[in-house]
Structure 1
Amino acid sequence: MSATIPDVTHYTYRVTWSPEDQEFVATCLELPSLSWLAPTQDEALHSLRDLVNTVVEDMHRNDEPIPDPLSSRSYSGKFNLRVGERLHRQLAIKAAEEHLSLNQYVIRKLGDAS
């Protein structure tokens, strides 16, 4: 979380079609409670960015923690994952069949899924 106001244009925005609403919905990953519906993609995105800017300024005035953009966060490249014994065994066997370490095998599988 940041003490200064981040550039909200660096936040991660998505605009998708909402069949239920019959409009486009814009969302911001850093502030998931916010969204904006509009008849066009551009209007949804621009209106949400205006809202995000207003909310972030309000958070700053009230000394609330402001999330940093995902793009400016640092990542170690490591995360821990707990799996059951059975799945662990299955993954280890598949890795051995492909002459890979378990780590290399899982990285390959995660890459295939993205």
Structure 2
Amino acid sequence: MVIKNDHYTYRVTWSADDDEYIGLCAEFPSLSWLTETPEAALKGIRNLVADVVTDMKRNKEKIPKPIAIKNYSGKFMVRVPPDVHRTLAIKAAEAGVSLNRLASSKLSH
């Protein structure tokens, strides 16, 4: 699959500290673009990512894979203190569901 710059995860939000909109890219957390409008922030961060990817290719660096095209197993481990584990196990038993089902339900809300 060919990775395109528009496959990356972009976000635009207001920055009260800077009094401007800020464009961000999840796959490149060190990059940002500040400007006066949300549209310009999105355009700016997309152009910046494109420039960085071009530079990384030229230097034969590993380019981040877009989150949108990664495969996920649906499994991950979360460590909690033993008392939290016990409390969740009790709640799951009282609800008549597995601990996994209870955790999944809580995480999805």
> What is the TM-score with the length of structure 2 in the denominator?
0.96
Alpha-carbon RMSD: 1.2
Instruction: Report the identity percentage.
Output: 51
Partner of 1:98: 95
Length, aligned pairs only:
109
Q: Which runs of 5+ in 1 are unaligned?
A: none
User: Which residue of the partner structure matches residue 74 of structure 2?
Assistant: 77
1:16 aligned onto 2:35: no
Per the TM alignment, residue 6 of structure 1 is displaced from its structure 2 partner at its CA by: 2.1
Q: Within 2, Cα distance between the matches of 1:45 and 1:103? A: 38
State the alpha-carbon separation in 2 of the partners of residues 103 and 47 from structure 1.
42
TM norm structure 1: 0.92
> Counterpart in 2 of 1:6?
3
1:53 aligns with 2:44: no
Shift, 1:24, TM fit: 0.1
Higher relative contact order (CA 8 A, sep 6+): 1
Runs of 4+ that moved beyond 3 A: none
In the alignment, structure 2 segments of 5+ residues that lack a partner are none
Return the alpha-carbon distance in structure 2 between the equivalents of residues 5 and 17 of structure 1.
32
